[in-house]
Structure 1
Amino acid sequence: KQLFLLKSSDPHSEIDVTRYCQLHHFTCQTMQISEREFHYLIETQ
């Protein structure tokens, strides 16, 4: 298993990241840090 922290300023990135995680059966946690900052904690299998 590996953990990745993806940081984004695009509010629409959640859709793409979530879809990617579902396709690859990864676990993904979304955190909104501020109005324009989003962090995604992705755990691979």
Structure 2
Amino acid sequence: MIITGRGCHRDILDLADTVSELRPVKHAFDAGVKAQMGIDY
């Protein structure tokens, strides 16, 4: 089973075999580049 989303309940984290967290390291948006259709949405 794959569960996605933010703010996962601690009980689910405890039951899971694998938990991954995706976070941005660098993104053009941070430099003021507007979101681009086909890339950001």
- Normalization by structure 2: what TM-score? 0.37
Structure with greater contact order relative to length (CA < 8 Å, sep ≥ 6):
1
Q: Which has the higher strand share?
A: 1
- Normalization by structure 1: what TM-score? 0.35
* Higher gyration radius (CA): 2
